Amino acid sequence: MSTAPHYKPNVRDTLFNLFEFLKVQETSLGKKPFGDVDEAMVRQTLDTMLPICTGIMAEGFTEGDRVPLQFDAKTGTVTLSPAMKATYHAYFENGLNLLELPTHLGGMGAPPSVGWGAFELIIGSNPAAAFSFLGNILARIIDTLATDAQKKRFVGPMLEHHWGGTMVLTEPDAGSDVGAGRSKARRVESKDGDVWHLEGVKRFITNGDIGDAAPNIIHLVLARPEGAGPGTKGLSMFIVPKFLVNDDGSLGERNGIFCTNLEKKMGLKASATCEMTLGDGKPCVGWLVGNVHDGMKQMFHVIEHARMAVGLKSMATLSTAYLNALAYAKERKQGADLLQAGDKKAPRVTILHHPDVRRMLLMQKSHAEGMRAMILFNAALQDSVEMKGGHRAPEAAKDTALNDLLLPLIKGYCSEKSYELLNLSLQTYGGSGYLQDYPVEQYIRDAKIDTLYEGTTHIQALDLLMRKIAKDGGATLQGLMGIIQSQTLDANEGGDALKKERAALAEAMGAVNTGLTALMEKLGESLYHVGLQGNRLLFSLAEVVIGWLLIRHAAVALEKQKTAKGPDVAFYEGKIASAKFFAHEVLPDIAPRMAHVPRSQLLAMELSEEGF
């Protein structure tokens, strides 16, 4: 049993994505609004982060799981374990909050590609802690959406004093149907601007209270103003502080928003998942964001960031699980080589020699690298959007649409597939993986939530098909397919060395197009077919994108391999192997999966309730 921190990062692959494949040093760094950031700064920042994330932040991972959160029902306060509190402070004390923060807010102003690449280190080392840093993101969102008076009151203090932050949507009776929320808001006269009193109960609020780890928490709350209509269009978003904030940014009295229950969970136990009660016995004061009733649209700034973060969390967990399993497989001796299985005198070999172990490891490796490629490819699109004036700028429309198309793949596919493949991580250990001596059993428990929150997997599939693809008649999707066709298939990217892999990609892409066409035909029969087949299409499209990116990575690696030295020789060999393995072991599964779509039938919907 190792007593070292669990976290094993893959910074080399992140650097490959950023500087050898995406080449952000040419496309993003040094250009407005990222003009103060260059490649040397990024590399130095990651080097600085590495010992912090593999050290103090990773050290809180196990203790956070084993030492329960303390909840004081009388005060509505949650107390973190000492290690988790130390992790929270280490993030700010070492300046990890400054990387992606815009320069006008005192940050380094790094582009999203760099920010997401760095965030993998944080969320991979301690995912429960990573979600307690949302205050940093909320400060940027409030700075974008709020009035000048609201910015002055909240943004500076949030950043200066390292306040926490939450997104407060879900209600006990509404769940994923956010528009069914019943929390109310009533406008009151106040010298402090557009002030409202909120009432209601919210559920599943991540880090709704973290005690004295942060001096204050800013909650962004969705509630329905008096007289507003039903559904999501009737919701508005409010800034609701745990402690009221005076004009000068100093803290006032306790606001009427309290944690009234702490959920007991199977995993991610160090993250306080709270029931929050608003306005029970004490007014819950909130400020209408921007003085406009545009709540759901505003909240999507937070939701889309959270969905990207959840997909990244899933990938980061799979990546460290794979690297831990690989280290074990290199040390654990058991049995003879399969070619000498009949020789009782044959030497015992490490389990890395066994074919099935190698198969499991390559399945984990190729998927972890492929998901990282998809996430950072999308992050680079976000660079482009910001450089072109933001998601509302006409010049950024195509990049924005492609980012929107990829988000449900990142959240839905990465969370589902990572959870599935973590079983292979555990299986690599044999029975030892089932013990708490190794981190993989906690990885599995902590990862299950990823398929559930920020929109379940099927919500992502419906979002992909009914909003992202249908929104523009499939133009963005076909644009992506056109890029794959022209840049990789028609251009023979990777030459003869990747000929078979390109053929597998072409077949998989054709199968997805055929499946989508079949689904459109099935819609004439019933919209239920979207619900029954949506997940298959989401998974298949994600695997086409991943397969494409891995082949492109392999093409870069083939060139780099010609002059590689030292550890890079093996690194590039591994990159090529990931692409080949994925192309021959994963992409061929898409065609038979898509064959289900034209055969889709409505038995599941026609069966009576009693028949179940």
Enumerate the active-site residues.
Answer: 454
| Distance in angstroms (rounded) separating the CA atoms of residues 314 and 415 | 5
- What is the DSSP secondary structure assignment for residue 350, as one 8-state letter? B
Single-letter amino acid code for the residue at 341: A
Per the structure block, which two tokens stand in for 571?
A: 């690194």
- What is the token pair recorded at 35? 């003009």
27 and 20 in contact (C-beta within 8 Å)? no
Q: Which amino acid is at 422?
A: L
Nearest to 367 by CA among 443, 424, 406, 309: 424
Give the Cα separation of 219 and 170 in Å (integer): 13
Q: Are 110 and 34 in contact (CB under 8 A)?
A: yes
- CA of 400: how far to CAs of 300, 409, 462, in Å? 14, 15, 19
Q: How far apart are CA 247 and CA 2, in angstroms?
A: 52
In 3-state terms, what secondary structure has residue 286? Answer: strand
Name residue 278's amino acid.
Answer: L
Distances (CA, A) of 303 to 137, 155, 307, 454, 608: 11, 19, 6, 7, 36
Query: What is the SS3 string spanning 178-195?
Result: HHHCCCEEEEECCCCCCE
Q: At what angle do helices 528-561 and 475-484 cross, to 10 degrees?
A: 30
d(CA 417, CA 421): 6
Encoded tokens for 578: 């990931």
CA 112 to chain centre: 13
Helix, strand, coil % over all residues of the chain, rounded to 5: 60, 10, 30
Closest CA to 355 of 441, 418, 428, 426: 428
Closest alpha carbon to 314 in 447, 508, 482? 447
Rounded (5°) CA angle 562-563-569? 80
Quick one: tokens of 197? 């009193």
**Angle, CA 411 vertex, CA 401 and CA 366 arms, to 5°:** 105
CA atoms within 13 A on the CB side of 478: 9
Q: Taken in order 571, 110, 367, 506, is the CA torsion positive or negative?
A: negative
**SS3 assignment for 542-561:** HHHHHHHHHHHHHHHHHHHH
